[in-house]
Structure 1
């Protein structure tokens, strides 16, 4: 294996356009290295040096920019499906080439360098990324800027999300906008056409621990959004996305059991639901039950459905779990959930999620059924609302029974 080459010295002076014949030669080399028999020649280090030189020169002329791109394509072809070449490319290119190219303004250079990184990564090299987090974060930023490019997406979904240690280290260092991007990709992986594999489940249980613990610690920051001065608070918006991830994780049977017993999660969700319910009722803000509250921009889009998702998460956490059913009762969560059931343009499907939560709270739980029945008798629960939700209270002797009606609205 060739020894690593030192990065090229910083140059000064006038940039000279590359002759046309040189560009043609580079293109020809790129084509030749698509063939297996032409790989592993002692040209990789030279190619990396040239690429770093192009980056150092901050090339703007189209001829030099084309040479820059061709050099990266050359390395990508060399490394494709060849472990020996990948090792040599990694030795020469990591970390300088990726630090130089992943944040380049030219999207083709970002795409080609992402291709090289995707092709070269393996489990051992992932550990090196943990010590060079700026490269991993640059990939997230590249996906933000160029969502149509498949290579940054594949690096994140096929490599990063398989390393809980890397994800945890990245999350601590990223901006809130970058966190939202990463969380969106976690959701995409969970709800994708292909279910999580047996190998994926332990990794995503580790992700679930990160997501749940972060939400428990930080969820109250969303209350900042009630202030017009902080309506674009990025930390609050990232925390809302954590809730979205938890909803999807608890909809997955392989992850549900772990989150149902996660310390403090159910209590914090009920507490937050109560806080935003009161805040939305007492003042006019983004959590108010009113269609006219919607504003322009990302805030309304991200906050939309927040109350619905809190109730959805409570319903998921109580699914066939007697301890959690009882805990919601102890925390006075059932009246809170029933009181949240109203028409709200900012929370589509709110009634359906309340129905879902009530069903999971009352399934094989006579104490919770009795509570709702008594609330209706005392006028604390609207009988017409219960009927709308697919329930009715029937009196049998001295006992009140909560039962389902035949016209239960679909979930």
Structure 2
């Protein structure tokens, strides 16, 4: 890792004022360096020194602030589409310039600095970020503060998410709010218009390991929402982990790995049971249509949570007999059927129950027999089963659960 460039000299502890170039000349130079033939690598160190000088001026006159911005634009232009320039910029700017400018109060300075970082990063330099996690965390913070800014978003989606080592190291250091931001961008990558590229699949398998293990370890933190009147940040991060798992298991390239992830299916069923019981016992956020309203309204923080648990169970059981049987062993089928009701807090809950039951009973006579016997014993509502697209038929002494629909819901 290159050593940071020394800051401009000081005399008796006082910053020596460096001559500030004419603003119009700096603007003209910045424009010239947009053209390949005009680039001179010897100017990069001087430009970085000037930017690091400007950083000392946190309450700048307008002209100095403009010079600060132009200096960063100059570095961004000189590095654009030129690997030699990018290497020199990195040597001079990393890590000090990025640590200085990514958390600057001026939005344009943050954006221009992010542009330089995005342009300069490559797989080798990503390893240096693992040793300077504060820079990576500052990018997450910049995206939180300026979600409309393109460059922090692109750094995360096009660079960070391609490095499972960085994501794992960073995730351990992030606050829960920052984790939610990172997980939201992971979802955006999974549900984007373009499917995961072939090269992205091994990387996302590593991400899946992190997400699944984090959910298995932390999922019970969601139960804090049954008693607290304010949203618990760790619980919110756990809710977002579930959202990511739903999207990951909707991807055929990632599904098989997660179907066999140790403890995941058991944890999901356990959590569904706990919040289902909690919703019946007391008035809390997991009531069928209830919510808590106090100083901070948390009525929507768990919206769809139960639906997503059942969706995840359905995904994990898709064409997987071992998981179908495991849900049966854990008494998960009656639990899922008991959740087939209208719930304002869980849109499409009934549809996800239907989806899960179809995946649980496909080519599984044992699970089909269980539901048929439940209907005969009055433990499963026949009219409800009919609405779900099933009916029980008695053939001699045997009860048969059969579908009344040709095609299952998507």
- Same fold, TM-score > 0.5, yes or no: yes
Q: Give the stretch that moved more between structures: 154-163 or 38-47.
A: 38-47
* Counterpart secondary structure, 1:301: coil
For 2:193 and 2:99, how far apart are their aligned partners in 1? 33
Q: Unpaired segments of 5 or more residues in structure 1? A: none
Quick check: 1:237–1:299 contact (8 Å CA) kept in 2?
no
Cα pair distance change 1:55/1:286, threshold 3 Å: same
**Any conservation in 1 of the 2:4–2:96 contact (CA below 8 Å)?**
no
Q: CA deviation at 1:272?
A: 0.4
Cα distance in 2 for residues equivalent to 1:12 and 1:146? 39
Moved more, 53-62 or 331-340: 53-62
Give the structure 2 partner of residue 191 of structure 1: 191
Q: Secondary structure at the match of 1:355?
A: helix
TM-score calculated relative to the size of structure 1: 0.95
Q: 1:282 to 1:5 in 2, by over 3 A?
A: closer
Aligned to 2:363: 364
Shift of 1:13: 11
User: 1:5, CA displacement in angstroms?
Assistant: 3.7
Who is 2:43 aligned against? 43
Residues 4 and 305 of structure 1: is their aligned pair in 2 closer, same or farther, counting only changes over 3 Å?
closer
Question: Is the contact made by 1:10 and 1:56 (CA closer than 8 Å) also made in structure 2?
Answer: no
Asked if the contact 2:255–2:316 (Cα under 8 Å) also holds between the matched residues in 1, the reply is yes
Alpha-carbon shift at residue 136 of structure 1 (Å): 0.3
Q: Cα–Cα, structure 1 residues 410 and 5, in superposed 2: closer, same or farther, change >3 Å?
A: closer
The structural deviation recorded for 1:300 is 3.1
| CA 1:218–1:117: 2 relative to 1, 3 Å | same
Cα 1:325–1:98 change in 2 (3 A) is same
Offset of 1:294 from its aligned partner?
7.1
Give secondary structure in 1 for the equivalent of 2:10.
coil
Which deviations, in whole Å up to 9, do the C-alpha atoms of 1:40-89 show, x marking residues without a partner? 34111111111111111214211111000000000000000001100000
Question: Aligned pair in 2 of structure 1 residues 217, 83: CA closer, same or farther (>3 Å)?
Answer: same
* 1:293 Cα deviation after fit: 5.2
Measured after TM superposition, the shift of residue 15 of structure 1 is 10
Secondary structure class of the residue paired with 1:395: strand
The alignment yields a C-alpha RMSD, in angstroms, of 2.4
Structure 1 pair 323–21 and aligned structure 2 pair: CA distance change class (3 A):
closer
Matches within 5 A, 1:214-363: 214-231=214-231, 233-291=232-290, 299-363=298-362
What does the per-residue CA deviation read over 1:164-211, in whole Å, with 9 as the maximum and x for residues that have no partner?
000000000000000000000000001101111110000000000000
- Structure-2-length-normalised TM-score: 0.95
Taking structure 1 as reference, are residues 145 and 89 closer, same or farther at Cα in structure 2, changes over 3 Å only?
same
CA distance in 2, matches of 1:4, 1:173: 23
What count of residue pairs does the alignment treat as equivalent?
Answer: 410
Question: SS of the residue aligned with 2:369?
Answer: helix
1:410 & 1:259 partners in 2: Cα distance? 22
SS at match of 2:60: coil
Task: Extract unaligned runs of 5+ from structure 2.
Answer: none
- Matched-pair contact (CA < 8 Å) for 1:2–1:88: no
**Structure 1, residues 276-308: CA drift from partner, whole Å, max 9, x if none?**
000011011011111565789673333100000
Q: Residue 369 of structure 1: CA displacement?
A: 0.2
